[in-house]
Amino acid sequence: MATEKKIRYDALIAHEYLVGEEKRTSWTKVGAAFPTADGKGINVELTPNLAVSGRLVLRVYEPKPASE
């Protein structure tokens, strides 16, 4: 029986700021999320002692390439 690969999402918040007149966005990782066992929901695990307000974005986790 094949096992399914579990999907991990990074939980991120956006910070918008200006450089001159150009609007830029920086992202801060505040936790991770995983599908529930029955596939009908998502569990979000936030970093302890973190105040989060506004929009929370979930993105599929993509590991960084290994440095040589």
Residue 4 resides in a domain: no
Domain with 16, as residue range(s), is 9-60
Q: pLDDT tens digit string along 13-29? A: 988 999 999 999 999 99
Cα pseudo-dihedral 37, 28, 48, 62, rounded to 10:
30
pLDDT above 90 (res 52): no
At residue 68, the pLDDT reads 60
Residue 68 resides in a domain: no
**47 vs 10, 17, 37, 38, 54, CA distance in Å?**
11, 24, 22, 24, 16
CA distance 20 to 23: 8
pTM value is 0.67
Residue 65 resides in a domain: no
Structurally, how many domains does the chain consist of?
1
Q: What is the DSSP secondary structure assignment for residue 22, as one 8-state letter? A: E
Residue 42 resides in a domain: yes
Residue 66 resides in a domain: no
Residue 1 resides in a domain: no
